[in-house]
Amino acid sequence: MDLYLQVSLASSKLLTKAYSTSFSLGIRTLDEKVHDPIYAIYGFVRLADEIVDTFHDQDKAALLQRFREDTYRAIEERISLNPILHSFQWAVNKFGMERELIDAFLYSMELDLTKRDYNPEEYKQYIYGSAEVVGLMCLRVFCEGDTAEYESLKADACALGSAFQKINFLRDIRSDYDERGRVYFPGVDFTTFTDAEKKEIEADIQLDFDAGLRGIHRLPTVARKGCLLAYEYYIRLFEKIKDLPASRIKEERIRVADWEKMFIYFQLAIRK
């Protein structure tokens, strides 16, 4: 591995640790040989998310378009002077990630610039692009070129990513509405969000979780613990959200305490 790639991968790792303690803990439970490409994927995803949700004093549409062009150029030329994109192109080319996955992700990021509400089909498409395809990128890494294994796990991986994203939507329903004017759930008015609507969403999430857990147990051993850690974390968050009325979810962001995250991590770390 050349020095520039090493520095780029180190940059992706640094970015991941700075932005997400939970994701960083999850990576630590994966086999070490897949750490670098997973950091590379997270770094790419995080940069795009920062553009659409954080850089409020910039021309977000122009930045995202430049980011899209730079991404595809990096993949085609197998080099980028942006170390995060250099890491990502390395992972894409090494593990054969499809262009369609990247297209879908960037399209969902573009929707976040202007779209404020979703019908059922748009909701499904947004979740696919913003969450499920990220899981599929990781699955390409975990399967290490085994196309048959990838295809057999694909549907369950999508279900797991969907469950995680829908929980994020519930957790962040207030900030999405107050700060960005968004409501992702079809037919839901934030101002009149009811317990019945919340329970319907939770039932849908549970179906995704059931399929996702089935897939986790069939994952290659390099990935099983790390994905199970993410599952356990989100299940804990899901249970906290389910225990509260819709009115409470609208008032505060529910979270899993750091000590709880560490407890889950150490439980899994010592499990054979």
Which burial class, exposed, middle or buried, applies to 38 when counting CB atoms under 10 A from its CB (0-12, 13-18, 19+)?
A: buried
Going from N- to C-terminal start, the domains of the chain cover 3-269
Which burial class, exposed, middle or buried, applies to 131 when counting CB atoms under 10 A from its CB (0-12, 13-18, 19+)?
A: buried
C-alpha 93/C-alpha 255 separation (Å) is: 36
> How far are the Cα atoms of 49, 180, 185 from residue 117, in angstroms, in the given order?
18, 11, 8
Crossing angle of helices 3-19 and 21-28, rounded to 10° = 130
Task: Write down the mean pLDDT value for the chain.
Answer: 94
What's the confidence (pLDDT) of residue 260?
86
Fold classification of 3-269 is: Farnesyl Diphosphate Synthase (1.10.600)
Q: How many residues does the chain have?
A: 272
Q: Global pTM?
A: 0.93
Containing 196, the helix (H) or strand (E) segment is helix 195-216
Model confidence pLDDT, tens digit, residues 207-248: 999 999 999 999 999 999 889 999 999 999 999 999 999 999
C-alpha 167/C-alpha 152 separation (Å) is: 25
Q: Concatenated DSSP letters for 225-263?
A: HHHHHHHHHHHHHHHHHHTS-HHHHTTS-----HHHHHH
C-alpha 11/C-alpha 8 separation (Å) is: 5
Model confidence pLDDT, tens digit, residues 103-161: 999 999 999 999 999 999 999 999 999 999 999 999 999 999 999 999 999 999 999 99
What's the confidence (pLDDT) of residue 64?
98
Is residue 23 a contact partner of residue 49, using CB atoms and an 8 Å limit?
no
Percent of the chain with pLDDT over 90: 86
Crossing angle of helices 221-242 and 21-28, rounded to 10° = 140
What's the confidence (pLDDT) of residue 272?
58
Long-range contacts of 188-195 (CB under 8 A, 24+ apart): 190/250, 193/246, 193/249, 193/250, 194/246, 195/245, 195/246
One-letter identity of residue 107: Y
